[in-house]
Amino acid sequence: MRRLLLIWACTYGLGQDTIGAEARVRGDYVEVDFWWRSGVGYVPVAANFVLVWPEAHALSWSQVAITQRGPWDAAQSPLYRPLYITQRLEDTAQRVSLNLLPQDPAQGLPIPNQRTLVGQYRVPIAQFGPTLQPRWGMESGEIVGLARRGEKSRFVFLPVGAVTLCPSVAGFRVQVQGGELSLLPPADFRPQNLTITWYYNGQPIGNGATLFIPAQANGLFYAEVVHRCGSSAWSDTVALSTTGVGLASQGAWHVYPLPAREVLYVIAPERAPCTYELSDLSGRKLLQGRWESGDHAPHTIDLSSFPAGTYLLRLSQSTTQTFLISHVW
């Protein structure tokens, strides 16, 4: 008898489906994933994955949107309609449901016996700072399957972790383009929520979303990013050299016009052989050449085949200098 009970318990456990949700703060949004792992290849007729969020005012529910769909949406399986969201306010909490329905209730595709994404939605953060603890809000009949209509006891719902509404700002990357520095964000942030301070060789040099690259600058540029909720982080660092850019005095290289369009002109400081190398900011060599300078006649470098952007020009004679070149159209 004990052996029969053990076999029944194991069979029942294997037959259960696991339902999970993961909520995280990414940029100025909360993202919510729903996933489903079936014990026996369950075929759903209808499913509503419901989370209840306390302090509804902390998130902008009028702008909630589905950002990713699982393998049962209409694009991949004509048996299922696209996911959609329903929501309603209950006192001070928000009840949000991600819905999955087949085109024909008599049909359906089995949920695989592995963790599979059902869908993802995201909602903008309206009030930064509080910590929210979502909870399951499933009701009887909200997950219905063939031959098991309303059998809620078959499902195991995993606890959902709390989220603190203060996004990390780690991962910003510095971009160089058109003589300016800007930041590539790791997620969607609203500019008004960020304070950006630029640094040059360890000293603050400016504030704002972009920084004009100063002439005669050699060294390291990076930025500190601070979110209004208090999180902060450093961007990555770029090394730039702009020494000599502009009209040169006697005995210096003369490179013009800056920014350059189709051609760039170079006048060497001496009457002697000259070499040049043009590369991108990653150091990949794009162009190289040699010419004999004399009587301060300019040498022409054709940039017309290159896309607009920022390049490094390395010039060598008796001395070598590297110039930051902005190429525009």
Neighbours of 240 (CB within 10 A): 21
**What's the CA angle centered on 28, arms 26 and 30, to 5 degrees?**
55
Are both 236 and 263 inside the same structural domain?
A: no
In a domain, 248, yes or no: no
In a domain, 296, yes or no: yes
Q: According to the model, what pLDDT value does residue 36 have?
A: 87
Which structural domain, as residue segments, surrounds residue 226?
173-241
In a domain, 298, yes or no: yes
Are both 159 and 263 inside the same structural domain?
A: no
Are both 42 and 150 inside the same structural domain?
A: yes
Are both 26 and 125 inside the same structural domain?
A: yes
In a domain, 261, yes or no: yes
Are both 219 and 147 inside the same structural domain?
A: no
Identify the CATH number of the domain in which residue 126 sits: 2.60.40.680
Are both 92 and 224 inside the same structural domain?
A: no
Q: According to the model, what pLDDT value does residue 15 have?
A: 62
Are both 188 and 140 inside the same structural domain?
A: no
By DSSP bridging, strand 44-53 and strand 135-136 are antiparallel
- List the structure tokens of 325: 């070149």
Identify the CATH number of the domain in which residue 283 sits: 2.60.40.3080
Say what the pTM is: 0.68
Contact 69, 119 (CB under 8 A): yes
Q: According to the model, what pLDDT value does residue 4 have?
A: 36
In a domain, 247, yes or no: no
For residue 149, the number of C-alpha atoms closer than 13 Å in the C-beta half-sphere is 3
Are both 217 and 261 inside the same structural domain?
A: no
Identify the CATH number of the domain in which residue 229 sits: 2.60.40
Instruction: Report DSSP letters for 217-269, one per residue.
Output: -EEEEEEEEEETTS-EEE---EEEE-TT-BS--TTS-EEESSSBSSEEEEE-S
Contact 300, 265 (CB under 8 A): yes
Are both 298 and 278 inside the same structural domain?
A: yes
Are both 12 and 155 inside the same structural domain?
A: yes
List of residues 6+ apart from 76 with CB closer than 8 A: none
Neighbours of 113 (CB within 10 A): 14
Show which of 241, 265, 283 is a domain's final residue.
241
Show which of 217, 241, 265 is a domain's final residue.
241
- pLDDT, tens digit only, all 329 positions of the chain: 444 333 333 333 446 788 999 999 999 999 999 998 887 767 777 788 899 999 999 999 999 999 988 876 656 666 666 778 888 888 889 999 888 776 665 566 677 788 888 889 999 999 999 999 999 988 766 776 655 545 666 788 999 999 999 999 999 998 887 678 899 999 999 999 999 999 887 789 999 999 988 766 777 788 999 999 999 998 887 777 655 443 333 357 777 776 777 888 888 888 889 999 998 877 788 999 998 887 667 888 998 888 888 788 888 887 788 787 777 66
Are both 71 and 198 inside the same structural domain?
A: no
Show which of 164, 186, 214 is a domain's final residue.
164
Neighbours of 120 (CB within 10 A): 19
